[in-house]
Structure 1
Amino acid sequence: MLFKKIHLIGIKSGEVTLAFRKWQKVSVKSGSLLHTSIGLVEIRDIQVVDEDDISEQDALHAGFSDKKQLLKSFFHSSNGTIFKISVCYHSEDPRIELREQTGLTVQQFAVLQRKLERLDHHSSKGPWTNNVLSTIRDNPSLHAAGIAKLTGFEKDWLKINIRKLKNLGLTISHNVGYEVSPLGRAYFAHL
Structure 2
Amino acid sequence: MMIRPAELAAIKAGTVDLAFRRWARPRVVVGTRMRTAVGVIEVTSVDPAGRITAEDARRAGAPSLTALEHALAARPDDPAWRIGLVYAGPDPREALRETVPDAAEIEVINARLARLDKASAYGAWTRATLDLIDLNPTVRAPDLAAMVGRETADFKKDVRKLKELGLTESLDIGYLLSPRGQAVVDAALPVPRDREPPPAGTRLPKIGAPATRALRNAGITTLEQVSVLTGDQLAALHGVGPMAIDRLREALAEAGLTLGG
Please say whether Structure 1 and Structure 2 have the same fold, judged by a TM-score greater than 0.5: yes
Correspondence for 2:68: 70
- Give the Cα–Cα distance (whole angstroms) in 2 for the partners of residues 118 and 38 of structure 1: 31
- Give the Cα–Cα distance (whole angstroms) in 1 for the partners of residues 46 and 54 of structure 2: 19
- Give the Cα–Cα distance (whole angstroms) in 2 for the partners of residues 63 and 77 of structure 1: 20
Shift of 1:31: 1.2
Structure 1 ranges of 4+ moved more than 4 A: 74-79
Aligned residues of 1:42 and 1:90 also touching (Cα < 8 A): yes
**Backbone CA RMSD of aligned residues:** 2.0
Bigger relative CO (Cα 8 Å, ≥ 6 apart): 1
Where 1:91 maps in the other structure, the secondary structure is coil
Give 1 or 2 for the bigger CA radius of gyration.
2
TM, length-normalised to structure 2: 0.66
Partner amino acid, structure 2, of 1:64: A
Aligned residues of 2:20 and 2:49 also touching (Cα < 8 A): no
1:6-155 aligned at under 5 Å gives the runs 6-50=6-50, 53-74=51-72, 77=75, 79-102=77-100, 104-155=101-152
What residue ranges of structure 1 are gaps of 5+ in the alignment? none
- Give the Cα–Cα distance (whole angstroms) in 2 for the partners of residues 76 and 147 of structure 1: 38
Shift of 1:114: 2.4
Partner amino acid, structure 1, of 2:111: R
What residue ranges of structure 2 are gaps of 5+ in the alignment? 189-261
- Give the Cα–Cα distance (whole angstroms) in 1 for the partners of residues 128 and 75 of structure 2: 39
Count of paired positions: 188
- Indicate how the Cα distance of structure 1 residues 24 and 135 shifts in structure 2: closer, same or farther if over 3 A, else same: farther
Where 2:124 maps in the other structure, the secondary structure is coil
Moved more, 71-80 or 173-182: 71-80
Moved more, 123-132 or 90-99: 123-132
Q: Which has the higher strand share?
A: 1
Aligned residues of 2:130 and 2:185 also touching (Cα < 8 A): no
Where 1:64 maps in the other structure, the secondary structure is coil
Where 1:20 maps in the other structure, the secondary structure is strand
Aligned residues of 1:23 and 1:79 also touching (Cα < 8 A): no
Where 1:54 maps in the other structure, the secondary structure is coil
Where 2:88 maps in the other structure, the secondary structure is strand
TM, length-normalised to structure 1: 0.88
